[in-house]
């Protein structure tokens, strides 16, 4: 399941923020004006990070000691998500909006070009799904999309 953090609360995602701090310190301080040279610095950081740098969560060993190639092939383009006949399906526009009952509602621009499904669960309230994940509620009485609690 996707995990969400509150807006403006990076402390809820400390591991992710920590790698950003390390990446910035080692690759863009100082920044190189030549993009190819800057990319080389990023590539070198990634190689060292995965092959030499000890990670506390891995008994102070580098990730290369634990990496195994996946037996599953990489799929370049995934199949479209299929929803049942009892769902109403809408496409998310480039700006994060979708149309429902002749009105536009904002959901998120992160899902532009994707399809979401809506299913009524109470009078005037529709649960919004991306695949099988519930991601919001369309409340027609309040005329807006609500966050899930």
Give CA–CA dist 11/39, Å, rounded.
28
Q: What per-residue confidence (pLDDT) applies to 2?
A: 66
Max mean pLDDT range (11-20, 28-37, 115-124): 115-124
In this model, does residue 117 exceed pLDDT 80?
A: yes
The pTM assigned to this predicted structure is 0.61
Q: What per-residue confidence (pLDDT) applies to 31?
A: 82
What is the residue-averaged pLDDT of the chain? 92
Q: Which residues contact 96 (CB under 8 A, 6 or more apart)?
A: 106, 107, 108, 109, 110, 111, 112
């Amino acid at each position: 399941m996707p995990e969400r953090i509150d807006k403006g609360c990076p402390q809820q995602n400390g591991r992710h923020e920590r790698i950003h701090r390390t990446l910035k310190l080692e690759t863009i301080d100082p920044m190189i004006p030549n993009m190819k040279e800057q990319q080389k610095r990023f590539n070198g950081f990634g190689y060292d990070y995965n092959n030499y740098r000890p990670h506390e969560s891995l008994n102070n060993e580098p990730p290369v000691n634990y990496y195994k190639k996946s037996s599953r092939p990489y799929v370049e383009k995934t199949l479209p998500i299929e929803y049942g006949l009892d769902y109403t399906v809408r496409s998310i526009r480039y700006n994060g909006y979708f149309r429902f009952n002749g009105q536009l509602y904002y959901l998120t621009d992160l899902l532009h070009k994707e399809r979401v499904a809506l299913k009524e669960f109470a009078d005037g309230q529709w649960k919004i799904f991306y695949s099988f994940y519930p991601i919001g509620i369309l409340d027609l009485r309040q005329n807006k999309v609500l966050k899930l609690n």
